[in-house]
Structure 1
Amino acid sequence: MRRKMKAIVKHERNFGAKLMEVVIPEIKDDEVLIKVKATSICGTDVHIYTWDEWSQSRVNPPYVFGHEFSGIVEEVGSNVTNVNVGDYVSAETHIVCGQCPQCLSGNAHICKNTEIIGVDRDGCFAEFVVLPATNLWKNDPSMPLDVASIQEPFGNAVHTVLAQGVAGKSVAIIGCGPIGLMAVTVAKACGASHVFAFDLNDYRLRLAKEMGATSVVNSERENPLSVVNRITDGNGVDVVCEMSGHPIAMDQGFKMVTNGGVVSILSLPVRPVEIDVTNDIVFKGITVHGITGRKMYKTWQQVSGLLKSTEVNLKPMITHHLKLEEFEKGFDLMIKGQCGKVVLHP
């Protein structure tokens, strides 16, 4: 009889999820079985948990979700040579085809045939997860389990901020969810002259200040455009990193960026957003980057380098550690915005 494990299952096309007992998946020749030690809740997981419009159009329950983790290799397939049983790993969560024009041109992060664990196939909110060996990233043995589990979203922050150089430039982070908070520390570590952090949530704005933001602004109490104009002498910010997905905030981001500046968008608006393309993009001559995933594997190298430096400390924004069985509490904290990063331990 095959062994079973605990897992958080998106069990139906509705709000919520269930802790269930499921069969431990078997590996193929090029795959690896990992015992999950820590797994963190992402904004994408919240989309799936709350069953918003995006998740309704993308995922197909029932399945195990979750895609951020750290763990120990338990079993390797017969063709695997890059990792061994006992290795301490995390993973690139985009499983790519390696054959499309994007993959063949060094742009596998935008592979047209991408599958994402925890979205398109079973994920890591469980005691074990299976992945292709080529997706694994060996961790420094000294790296804490919780920090190792959030390297994947940290990579999103790194990719977003470093889509354009930020040294000596002003940077606006719009939306201070966990990845926005990480973007703050990336911008500071990479030499930004001024980092603005915008949100509606005072709890997360306090975390943004702790992570290194120069100016924190509650956009309900202060007009973000007025604040930027005052501090930049009317010039606007050089780089905008859009993490909120809110139509008003996105519009403000395009209005606050300076002529010739850059807007990098990581957020996933659930509906089409109206932008003044003529005045806020074309006439300003700005560059817009759509950010998805992490560059494979340039971003992972940058992540490792930043975490080894003394300039980046992610610990302040890891605010909650919970047992896997307490996942509902974790999602409630995320939905209410009363947390930084929530890490679950199977």
Structure 2
Amino acid sequence: MRAVRVVEYHQNMEMHDVPEPEISGPLDVIVRIGAAGVCRTDLHVIEEQWREKSGVTLPYTIGHENAGWVHAVGAAVTNVTVGDKVICHPLITCGLCGPCRDGQDCHCEEQTFPGIGADGGYAEYLLTSARSCVKLDDSLEPADVAALADAGLTAYHVVAKAAAKLRAGDTCVMIGAGGLGHIGIQCLKALSPARLVVIDRNPEALQLAEEIGADMTVVADSSQVDKVLELTGGAGAEVVIDFVGEGGSTSQGLAMTKRNGEYHVVGYGEDIVIPTIDLVSSERNIIGNLVGTYNDLKELMALTAQGKVTLHTQKYSLDDFQKAIDDLVAGRVRGRAILVP
């Protein structure tokens, strides 16, 4: 089968012909890829940022946002059958460890992460597990939802946590209205009555934010903190969700957060620096967010089937993988880039 491989770090990937994956365990599932999302984390993999954490050996196939059709199943698989449309939770989990039994399978102690630490979905077929497969509603197609497997899942995961804090009359600020942010906006409006203020430096992203539910938008510049404080009577927002996590957004995001509020960081790239006395005296909470649970993905698929979340995409053929990567690097992608074999 064709597969896009990382051959060397800091170099363009290459298309190779590799063997198709095979069933070896009773809960194995092989998915014929209908679409694979192109994520900024894929850029970080190529840039070697994940090398130490993943321990992966090159060459290998990346791609951790995957959807398609079940192609083959192991002897013990009962939740999906050959031909089913599925979206794949990005992790392969054990189901037996403490976090899995506690419903926090995104922190599985025995997890495998296809596309990060094992072969992923920039290919024609993917090896995953029964525990990772969420069947799609008849109204949904793999190419329309693939990036929800990670970008959407991460956005839903943080928004669901934030929604538990937010009440009617509260304010939530989202920093970044791009690939994750545009999904987060829709999820928040579906889950919470709070006022939503979206910050981005790109006018087109802000226009999209307004079209899909943002109550107010603010241009990201040196005055953005003052504008948020003005909108909140000087107090700041009950919740700030930072999908950027670099370029000064962390200090600005904390400055927008109300006393006893929550600052959720999703994007990464810089350090969070705050004097401990400021953190203690204000009781602000800094919360990290990574991926989401299997149940989060099921709930997100339900919202998507109801038409409450729509993924905005730019589609590329698998052969055009380098153009998709280049467009993402150059900021030419609105929403999410999708590879379709």
TM-score (normalizing by structure 1)? 0.90
1:167: how far off? 4.5
CA–CA distance in 1 between the matches of 2:207 and 2:88? 30
Code of the aligned partner of 1:250: T
Percent identity between the aligned chains? 27
Say which of 101, 104, 107 aligns to 2:104. Answer: 107
Which residue of structure 2 aligns with residue 214 of structure 1? 215
Code of the aligned partner of 1:65: I
Which residue of structure 2 aligns with residue 260 of structure 1? 260
Code of the aligned partner of 2:31: I
CA–CA distance in 2 between the matches of 1:311 and 1:129? 29
Q: Check conservation: 1:163, 1:264, Cα contact below 8 A.
A: no
Q: Check conservation: 2:86, 2:142, Cα contact below 8 A.
A: no
Q: Check conservation: 1:139, 1:148, Cα contact below 8 A.
A: no
Code of the aligned partner of 2:161: A
CA–CA distance in 1 between the matches of 2:283 and 2:324? 42
Code of the aligned partner of 1:208: A
Deviation digits for residues 91-139 of structure 1 (CA, Å, limit 9, x no counterpart)? 1111223343323433222123332110010000101111112211111
1:203: how far off? 3.5
Which residue of structure 1 aligns with residue 339 of structure 2? 344
**Residue 50 of structure 2 aligns to a residue in which SS?**
helix
CA–CA distance in 2 between the matches of 1:203 and 1:8? 31
CA–CA distance in 2 between the matches of 1:76 and 1:94? 17
Q: Check conservation: 1:264, 1:289, Cα contact below 8 A.
A: yes
CA–CA distance in 2 between the matches of 1:117 and 1:200? 33
CA–CA distance in 2 between the matches of 1:170 and 1:192? 9
Code of the aligned partner of 1:186: C
Q: Check conservation: 1:94, 1:293, Cα contact below 8 A.
A: no
Code of the aligned partner of 1:85: V
Deviation digits for residues 268-317 of structure 1 (CA, Å, limit 9, x no counterpart)? 32x533233421x32211233221221232x1232123213343333xx2
TM-score (normalizing by structure 2)? 0.91
Deviation digits for residues 240-266 of structure 1 (CA, Å, limit 9, x no counterpart)? 111112151011111111111112222
| Backbone CA RMSD of aligned residues | 1.9
1:19: how far off? 1.4
**Residue 294 of structure 2 aligns to a residue in which SS?**
coil
Distance verdict in 2 for CA 1:167–1:331, change over 3 Å: farther
CA–CA distance in 1 between the matches of 2:226 and 2:143? 38
CA–CA distance in 2 between the matches of 1:133 and 1:312? 25
CA–CA distance in 2 between the matches of 1:45 and 1:207? 25
CA–CA distance in 2 between the matches of 1:154 and 1:285? 29
Q: Check conservation: 2:93, 2:131, Cα contact below 8 A.
A: no
**Residue 118 of structure 2 aligns to a residue in which SS?**
coil
5+ residue gaps in structure 2? none
1:185: how far off? 1.3
CA–CA distance in 1 between the matches of 2:190 and 2:76? 40
Code of the aligned partner of 2:223: N
Distance verdict in 2 for CA 1:331–1:139, change over 3 Å: same
Q: Check conservation: 1:204, 1:337, Cα contact below 8 A.
A: no
Distance verdict in 2 for CA 1:245–1:288, change over 3 Å: same
Say which of 162, 165, 169 aligns to 2:160. Answer: 162
Distance verdict in 2 for CA 1:338–1:56, change over 3 Å: same
For residues 181-200 of structure 1, the aligned pairs below 5 Å read 181-200=182-201
Q: Check conservation: 1:171, 1:192, Cα contact below 8 A.
A: no
| 1:137 and 2:134 aligned | yes
CA–CA distance in 2 between the matches of 1:210 and 1:336? 24
Code of the aligned partner of 2:336: K
Distance verdict in 2 for CA 1:105–1:257, change over 3 Å: same
**Residue 283 of structure 2 aligns to a residue in which SS?**
coil
CA–CA distance in 2 between the matches of 1:337 and 1:203? 12
5+ residue gaps in structure 1? none
Q: Check conservation: 1:170, 1:192, Cα contact below 8 A.
A: no
Residue range with higher mean Cα deviation, 54-63 or 89-98: 54-63
Which residue of structure 1 aligns with residue 244 of structure 2? 244
Which residue of structure 2 aligns with residue 290 of structure 1? 288
CA–CA distance in 1 between the matches of 2:32 and 2:115? 16
Q: Check conservation: 1:172, 1:239, Cα contact below 8 A.
A: yes
Residue range with higher mean Cα deviation, 189-198 or 116-125: 189-198
1:186: how far off? 1.2
